[in-house]
Amino acid sequence: MKKIIVLATLTAASLTVSGCGWLFGDKGIFRDRGDDYRRARVEKPMEVPPGLSKAQSDEDFAIPTIAYSAPLEGKFETPLPEPLEGNPEAEQVKIQTLDNTRWILVEAGPGEVWPRVRQFLNTNQLQVARADAAGGVIETGWLQPRSLEGHEAEGTARERYRFRIEQGVQRNSSEIYVLQADTRNGDNWPATSANGTRETEMVKVLSQFIADNGSTGAVSMLAQRGLDSKGKVFLSKQPGVNSYLRLELTFERAWASLSTALPKGGFTVEDSNHTTGEYWVRYAPPQDDEEKQGYWSRFWSWVFRSGEKNVHKNVIYVVRMQNEANADGAVRIDVQRQDGKPLTTAIQEELLNRIKNRLT
């Protein structure tokens, strides 16, 4: 009886020691296959039998090349993700104005906005004379202006409209510009609308239609590919150079966008100088609403974010914007400390990303 007990004990111990290897070892049933790709071999291309033609094929997904690679400076620390923030005042469709230019900002990609503009024209029975999805341009035929009551306005020259859809500053956003012309311009399109009042009315009607009807789910692939969907603002990182934002807008448009983005990003503007393109700001990191957090959320927030306030406390930053060299209609934005002390890469990119995500 004792031998049976001893044998059972040794068997159990043997299974305990070897069990993991039998199940999860290199030759186990549930072995780790994460490194199998290292032993993979490149097979020879498929050979087509004689008498048959070989179809031309391309890769479905092109892998972009990396223009440069910047070596990490010092010890790398993984930055914490920004807390999720809701914006109750955010609007899906809104009209923006700068000087004498107005446009409709839609929080949807050009490929989605294109069919919605076409729907507006069809609904209002506005004849389309030319449509270029890849270029984002729709032109109507000649129309007889109508009064507010819907009747034809007597003694008013005929008119036509050009709708231009562009990629917005942020990804998945679009801008719609409206140009109005009448018979006084002949067959040529003017640089600015012949009748600013009629342009304004069309902008209001179109924006209201898009806001009321919402997305239909239709997407124009031609418009999506032709108008690009990566946005107009980029965070540039180059070896030996401080990171900066590159914004593909004119200086005045970018300055107006920056002035709006800073308060939304948690910056308090102390002073500004339009001539030199500088803002002097203070920054306060966004704080989570502890009343809505659970115990563990508050604990980990205290562990990882307890020192963030001190990093920016009593520090004035200079946000500088200047025209990009050798580029028309583009500016660069960088951030520095007013006292001249260097900024760590992590803090620099944190501040730039806060600005970047709120530019419009």
Rounded to whole angstroms, the maximal C-alpha distance in the chain is 117
Segment 315-324 mean pLDDT: 94
Is the confidence at residue 291, as pLDDT, over 50? no
| pLDDT on residue 88 | 43
- Location of each CATH 3.30.310.170 domain in the chain: 233-356
In this predicted model, which residue has the larger pLDDT, 126 or 90? 126
- Location of each CATH 3.30.530.50 domain in the chain: 93-146+156-226
Is the confidence at residue 243, as pLDDT, over 50? yes
Segment 201-224 mean pLDDT: 87
Q: Cα 320 to chain center, whole Å? A: 22
CATH numeric code, 233-356 = 3.30.310.170
What residues have CB less than 8 Å from 317, skipping those under 6 apart?
267, 280, 281, 282, 283, 335, 336, 337, 338, 351
| pLDDT on residue 306 | 52
pLDDT-derived band at 214 (thresholds 50, 70, 90) equals confident
Is the confidence at residue 311, as pLDDT, over 70? yes
In this predicted model, which residue has the larger pLDDT, 108 or 46? 108
What residues have CB less than 8 Å from 215, skipping those under 6 apart?
108, 112, 116
Is the confidence at residue 179, as pLDDT, over 50? yes
In this predicted model, which residue has the larger pLDDT, 302 or 169? 169
Is the confidence at residue 254, as pLDDT, over 50? yes
In contact, 143 and 126? CB cutoff 8 Å: yes
The percent of residues in the chain predicted with pLDDT above 90, rounded, is 47
Please state which of the four CATH numbers 3.30.530.50, 3.30.1320.10, 3.40.50.1100, 1.10.1840.10 is assigned to the domain occupying 93-146+156-226: 3.30.530.50
| pLDDT on residue 259 | 94
| pLDDT on residue 6 | 45
Q: How far is CA 39 from CA 30, 207, 228, in A?
A: 18, 57, 39
pLDDT-derived band at 151 (thresholds 50, 70, 90) equals very low
| pLDDT on residue 341 | 92
CB burial string 213-223: b at 16+ within 10 A, e below: eeeeeebbebb
| pLDDT on residue 290 | 45
Cβ neighbours around 244 below 10 Å, total: 22
Highest mean pLDDT among 25-34, 78-87, 273-282: 273-282
Is the confidence at residue 247, as pLDDT, over 90? yes
Q: How far is CA 241 from CA 236, 322, 348, in A?
A: 9, 16, 12
Is the confidence at residue 181, as pLDDT, over 90? yes
In this predicted model, which residue has the larger pLDDT, 135 or 223? 135
| pLDDT on residue 185 | 85
Is the confidence at residue 7, as pLDDT, over 70? no
Tokens encoding 321: 């914007």
Is the confidence at residue 156, as pLDDT, over 70? no
| pLDDT on residue 56 | 56
Starting at the edge strand that comes first in sequence, how are the strands of the sheet with 233-238 ordered? 233-238, 241-247, 331-337, 317-323, 278-283, 267-273
Q: Of 292, 359, 338, 282, nearest to 105 (Cα)?
A: 359
In this predicted model, which residue has the larger pLDDT, 75 or 33? 33
| pLDDT on residue 136 | 93
pLDDT-derived band at 17 (thresholds 50, 70, 90) equals very low
Tell me what the pLDDT averaged over the chain comes to.
Answer: 79
pTM of the model: 0.68
- Distance separating alpha carbons of residues 116 and 155, to the nearest angstrom: 32
| 64-121 confidence digits (pLDDT tens) | 665 555 665 666 666 666 555 544 444 589 999 998 899 999 999 999 999 999 999 9
